[in-house]
């Protein structure tokens, strides 16, 4: 059975648009990533992306702007973060999923990115319309 996934381009606007990324604490080989994960059976994709964001980063204040792209089994979403969201934090994943107990170092980085994301996760960033990254 194919696993359906979602991924979150969480954008915060300050002087320039910034993207939320994270690294696995103690696992540098995992590379820099965006929040992403599996969709539960019967779960709406928009709900899944917000759930994955909360599970992996602890962030609960983002809002879904729109679907950006669907690639193979992963659907990418553009989300908006408040400008008052912290610059950086660590979060330990709770629950029963594959990431349970892992600690992620989360931070916002300016766009365009200096370095590519793991697994080509940045492939659809150019589809985010700059109008939607401005403060709202």
Dihedral sign of CA atoms 61, 64, 23, 36 in order: positive
The CA–CA distances, whole Å, from 42 to 45, 46, 68 equal 9, 12, 21
> Is residue 119 a part of any domain in this protein?
no
pTM over 0.85: yes
> Is residue 68 a part of any domain in this protein?
yes
**To the nearest whole percent, how much of the chain has pLDDT over 70?**
93
> Is residue 83 a part of any domain in this protein?
yes
DSSP string, the chain: -PPPEEEEEEEEESSSEEEEEEEETT-GGG--B--EEEPPTT--HHHHHHHHHHHHH-----EEEEEEEEETTEEEEEEEE-TTS-SEEEEE--SSSTTTT-EEEEEEEESSPSSPPGGGTTTTGGGS-GGGGS--
> Is residue 127 a part of any domain in this protein?
no
Q: Residue 22 sits in which domain range? A: 5-113
Q: How many domains does the chain have?
A: 1
> Is residue 91 a part of any domain in this protein?
yes
Per residue of the chain (136 residues), give pLDDT as tens. 678 999 999 999 998 999 999 999 999 999 999 999 999 999 999 999 999 999 999 999 999 999 999 999 999 999 999 999 999 999 999 877 788 889 999 999 999 999 999 999 999 999 986 544 444 3
- CATH number, domain of 103, equals 3.90.79.10
User: Measured between alpha carbons, how far is 104 from 49 in angstroms, rounded to an integer?
Assistant: 17
């Amino acid at each position: 059975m194919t696993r359906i996934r979602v991924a979150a381009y969480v954008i915060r606007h300050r002087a320039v648009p910034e993207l939320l990324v994270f690294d696995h604490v103690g696992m540098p080989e995992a590379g820099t990533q965006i929040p992403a994960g599996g969709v539960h059976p019967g779960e709406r994709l928009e709900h899944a992306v917000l759930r994955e964001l909360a599970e992996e980063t602890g962030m609960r204040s983002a809002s879904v702007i729109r679907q950006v792209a669907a690639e193979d089994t992963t659907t990418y979403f553009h989300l908006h973060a408040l400008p008052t969201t912290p610059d950086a934090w660590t979060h330990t994943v709770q629950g029963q999923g594959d990431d349970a107990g892992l600690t992620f170092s989360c931070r916002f980085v300016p766009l365009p990115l200096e370095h590519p994301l793991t697994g080509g996760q940045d492939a659809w960033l150019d589809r985010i319309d700059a109008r939607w990254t401005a403060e709202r």
